[in-house]
Amino acid sequence: MKILSRYAESLFWLARYLERSASLARVIEMQSSFGGQDEETGWAWLLTLHADHDRFKKRYDYSTSNVISFYLLDAENAGSIRSSLHMARENARSLRPYIPLEMWVQLNAFHASTLELGLRDIEPAQLPRTCSAIRAGCLAQVGTAEGTLFRDEGYVFFKLGQLIERADQTSRLLDVKFAQNDSSGAVRLVSDEFVFATTILRTASAYQAFRRLEPGNPEAGRVARFLILNPSHPRSIGFCAREIERCLHDLRSGFRLPKASAALEACEILMDGLQAAGADRKLESRLHEFNDWVQRTLVTLSAKIDQAFFRTTPPSPLSAETADAPTGSHPGATPAGGQSQTQS
């Protein structure tokens, strides 16, 4: 029996929300550790990363503590860690008849622990520990899924959500941090470039792998290429794209879901673009344009997956507008897929 489309969609978004929470916690932790506490500009790039300047200004005065609270504790911010983990739990709750008990118990306990976080937990001395605990909780949930989730179509949709979100987060990290660095107008010193490149690598959990494979000190251009093209690092865009392609092939051939073909075509466009980027000697100077293209291609890919597997009715006319939101969100714990199955 094929998986219900509402279960497939909830698994897809459960993984996306977990990956989003872990990525945001990693960014906040690294900014706290390596970016300093500059009240004027130090944390503004985090608002740029998620296109949240206007929403933030409507509710907060700019300060380091307010930016951190907005992204870590604010339940009214749909892009915050607290909101993302709440939506992850809601999706898991709708999956109670499907997922193993261990997945539900682990996520429920983790979610409860995050509800206890307060302003004391985001003070400078406590913030790295708080972010580390959130990342560990997300990793524990993914590890529990890897160890207990039955390997049918549902597992593939879980992986698809994780990989698409991860590729998107890596692209945005590169785009905004490089744009921030290039727009400073200052001459980049060797020491500054080392700190900048090291921060990028650590934020992407790629520092040890890069230093092991690449000779010499990290340079911004080589770091960008590594996180875009490396075929073996699990957070590189290239690695994610290949794994997405593998998942879609599994759905089409292994589980006989021919509707995966449209999503595969979108994935092939992404793969072709990455191949062209690998041959582009001026990639660093065109990084914003390239990352913008990656993000739009991932939006298209997600829409193809949504239309093929999660929808029993045509998408709303608003879908094209909401698809461009940088922190695109699942419509709710009970998706619109109803009781249909992911079949042709």
The count of structural domains within the chain is: 2
In this structure, the answer to whether residues 95 and 218 fall within a common structural domain is no
On whether residue 330 sits in a domain, the answer given is no
In this structure, the answer to whether residues 195 and 120 fall within a common structural domain is no
Position 180 scores a pLDDT of 62
Give the predicted TM-score (pTM) of the model. Answer: 0.88
Secondary structure class of 4 (helix, strand, coil): strand
In this structure, the answer to whether residues 163 and 303 fall within a common structural domain is yes
- Mean pLDDT, residues 323-332 taken together: 42
Q: Which of 111, 130, 149 is the last residue of a domain?
A: 149
Mean of the per-residue pLDDT values for the chain? 86
In this structure, the answer to whether residues 155 and 113 fall within a common structural domain is no
Q: Count the helices and strands in the chain (H runs, E runs).
A: 15, 0
On whether residue 77 sits in a domain, the answer given is yes
Q: Note down the domain range covering 104.
A: 1-149
Is the pLDDT confidence value at 329 over 80? no
In this structure, the answer to whether residues 140 and 18 fall within a common structural domain is yes
In this structure, the answer to whether residues 64 and 118 fall within a common structural domain is yes
For residue 343, the Cα-to-chain-centroid distance in whole angstroms is 28
- Mean pLDDT, residues 145-155 taken together: 97
The 10s digit of each residue's pLDDT in 208-258 is: 999 999 888 888 889 999 999 999 999 999 999 999 999 999 999 999 999
For the record, the structure tokens of 31 come out as: 């900014």
Lowest mean pLDDT among 112-116, 215-219, 278-282, 316-320: 316-320
Position 184 scores a pLDDT of 47
Higher pLDDT, 285 or 250: 250
In this structure, the answer to whether residues 81 and 222 fall within a common structural domain is no
On whether residue 331 sits in a domain, the answer given is no
The 10s digit of each residue's pLDDT in 176-200 is: 777 666 544 444 444 577 888 888 9
In this structure, the answer to whether residues 266 and 119 fall within a common structural domain is no
| Nearest CA among 31, 226, 5, 269 for reference residue 128 | 31
Q: Which of 119, 134, 149 is the last residue of a domain?
A: 149
The 10s digit of each residue's pLDDT in 87-135 is: 999 999 999 999 999 999 999 999 999 999 999 999 999 999 999 999 9
Q: Where are the alpha helices (DSSP H) in 183-286?
A: 190-203, 207-213, 220-229, 237-249, 260-278
Percent of the chain having pLDDT more than 70?
Answer: 84
Model confidence at 49, pLDDT cuts 50, 70, 90, reads: confident
In this structure, the answer to whether residues 185 and 84 fall within a common structural domain is no
On whether residue 316 sits in a domain, the answer given is yes
Whole-number Å distance between alpha carbons of 102 and 224: 38
Model confidence at 45, pLDDT cuts 50, 70, 90, reads: confident
On whether residue 21 sits in a domain, the answer given is yes
Secondary structure class of 13 (helix, strand, coil): helix
For the record, the structure tokens of 229 come out as: 């093209």
- Mean pLDDT, residues 52-73 taken together: 94
On whether residue 201 sits in a domain, the answer given is yes
In this structure, the answer to whether residues 266 and 165 fall within a common structural domain is yes
In this structure, the answer to whether residues 159 and 270 fall within a common structural domain is yes
**140 phi and psi, to 5 degrees?**
-65, -40
On whether residue 101 sits in a domain, the answer given is yes
Q: Which of 149, 184, 212 is the last residue of a domain?
A: 149
For residue 268, the Cα-to-chain-centroid distance in whole angstroms is 20
In this structure, the answer to whether residues 98 and 172 fall within a common structural domain is no
Lowest mean pLDDT among 123-137, 283-297, 309-323: 309-323
Helix (H) or strand (E) holding 60: none
On whether residue 344 sits in a domain, the answer given is no
For the record, the structure tokens of 224 come out as: 């960008």
